[in-house]
Amino acid sequence: MSDDNTNTTESGAPDPKALSLDELRALRTELQQQDDVVSYARRVAQARVDLVKSEMARRDDTGTVSDEVTEVLSQHLTGGPGRPPRPAEDLSDNTLSAELDSICSKLGFGRIEDLTEDELATLAEGIEEFERRVSQDRRQRFDLLDALSAELVRRYRDGEADVDSLLNN
């Protein structure tokens, strides 16, 4: 890819139309792999927020921990519906996971039952802020992935790329 500004969009992302077919495919694959990491960190953050809220509900006697934990695990850690399966790999050793672990450690996630109401609220807010930031990053990644996919489809539809070349990749 060129560093020329004409090859980027207003957001600073690479312009899909300016990329070669190989660059387009490579960037799309790279973004999909990055999304696996981001998605994993986001699901873990959501699950941890739900566990904190479950502890809050338990204290208010509005729910039981076992019901809440089952709900959290079934919704977040399994990947949820609507996402096509990709090969699973261990994504727990990455910078986002380390950052989330640091936030949780600093705010007392490991001693959740001993936290005061205010500490629980601070813990939930810290994890939710991380999740919002990661979700925003993921949204931007999806926007670029959509643009790359649309450009690939256009090239195949218009005959600029050979569909048979897909079998060689």
39-57 pLDDT per residue, tens = 889 989 998 998 898 888 8
Task: Please answer whether residues 145 and 139 qualify as being in contact, where contact means their C-beta atoms are separated by less than 8 angstroms.
Answer: no
At residue 38, does pLDDT exceed 50?
Answer: yes
Please, what is the average pLDDT of the chain? 80
Nearest Cα neighbor of 54 from 43, 42, 40, 66 is 66
Percent of the chain with pLDDT over 70: 70
Q: The tokens of 77 are what?
A: 């850690």
Average pLDDT of span 131-151: 92
